[in-house]
Structure 1
Amino acid sequence: MEMHIGDRVADVTLVNKDGNKVELTIDGKPIEVDIVMAENGSCSILHNGNSYNAELIRGEGGKNYDVNMFYRSYHVDVVDTQAKYLRMRKNNDERQSDKIVAPMPGKVVSIPVSVGDKLNAGDIAIVLEAMKMQSNYKVTSDCTVKNILVAEGDAVQDNQTLIELELSNNE
């Protein structure tokens, strides 16, 4: 998942969680920590023999936090796959592109369309899984499936073209 920590954007992936022991990668670098959460939003973190205490204050909607440590404070925004996709779509002025592109690395779960299928705005074109969460990717305008460049079960990369579309003339 993408996390915005102050002005920094980090790619964070949960690799394994076993009790308090958490393995993750931050921008591809493996990290192992031991985290104990208290009921009041405080947590104790052990990393490389060092102990850290942090207070987590959850924002509205649960996708952002203020993190207070000994002499530092950070604002953290968690950007999940759906939010990232919606942001990318909004940046494209809500107009359907002639292709569907993976917003982040993941796996193709389902492709409920075939080449030549006519799709209406709102139809699901592909289902991806990223970070153990499935997301339906829908077309925003009427179109026809021109080419499918992936298969169910394929691993996909960030910004990889998945499906090429031919937009209807009324666009």
Structure 2
Amino acid sequence: MAIEIKIGDRIAWVNLLKQDGNILEVDVDGKVYEVDLMHTADGTFSILENGHSYNIELVPEAEPKKYTAYTLYDTFDVQVIDAEARYLRNRNANGASSVENKVTSPMPGKVVKVLVSEGDVVKEGETVVIISAMKMESEYKAPKDGVVKKVYVKDEDTIDGNQLLIELD
């Protein structure tokens, strides 16, 4: 499963393809690397790749999955954005990922209750659907005032991540 890693302003998609002890085969943005990765006792990582040696110290920040990475010459802000992090980020932003007039779920789950029907008038911040994911129920809210144009799910539906749930006019 690929995860996003944000390094400064750059986002890289990283996928672990194979692991045999410390030897990893990793796909980074479509390019495959074979690396020897060692996590040392002092919290640094030693990486050998194609005859080059890199040492990186990752210092955790206050927020989960955020780090400051120190190399010999540079310092980087690093954030791991996996499915759980996307879910929590979107949940903290009123529980919905919205694009103007759309309500989507940031991760797979099950529809507990659809609270609106097509043609209903809703206010910004009004709960329109409740989703169960990761053993938690989340309320997904209308991103703006409007009229429900289309409801794409019903109670008890199983949904995919980033699936469109409700569209407003």
TM over 0.5: yes
1-side partners of 2:28 and 2:135: how far apart?
Answer: 22
The equivalences for 1:89-128 within 5 A come to 89=93, 99-101=102-104, 103=106, 108-113=108-113, 117-118=114-115, 121=127, 124-125=130-131, 127=133
Assess if the C-alpha contact under 8 Å between 1:96 and 1:139 holds in 2. Answer: no
Q: 1:165 to 1:47 in 2, by over 3 A?
A: same
2-side partners of 1:100 and 1:126: how far apart?
Answer: 15
Does 1:81 pair with 2:86?
yes
TM-score, scaled to structure 1: 0.60
**Cα offset for 1:57?**
1.6
Residue 39 of structure 1 aligns to a residue whose secondary structure is: coil
Query: 1:164 matched to which residue of 2?
Result: 166
Residue 81 of structure 1 aligns to a residue whose secondary structure is: helix
**Cα offset for 1:15?**
3.6
Give the one of 43, 54, 57 matched to 2:56: 54
1-side partners of 2:131 and 2:164: how far apart?
Answer: 10
Query: 1:139 matched to which residue of 2?
Result: 140
Tell me which structure has the larger Cα radius of gyration. 2
Q: 1:122 to 1:37 in 2, by over 3 A?
A: farther
**Cα offset for 1:46?**
1.4
**Cα offset for 1:41?**
0.9
Query: 2:29 matched to which residue of 1?
Result: 27
Assess if the C-alpha contact under 8 Å between 1:100 and 1:163 holds in 2. Answer: yes
Assess if the C-alpha contact under 8 Å between 2:13 and 2:28 holds in 1. Answer: yes
1-side partners of 2:138 and 2:31: how far apart?
Answer: 29
- CA-based RMSD of the aligned residues comes to 4.1
5+ unaligned residues in a row in structure 1: which ranges? 128-132
1-side partners of 2:135 and 2:100: how far apart?
Answer: 22
**Cα offset for 1:124?**
3.0
5+ unaligned residues in a row in structure 2: which ranges? 117-125
Assess if the C-alpha contact under 8 Å between 2:91 and 2:138 holds in 1. Answer: no
1-side partners of 2:102 and 2:10: how far apart?
Answer: 30
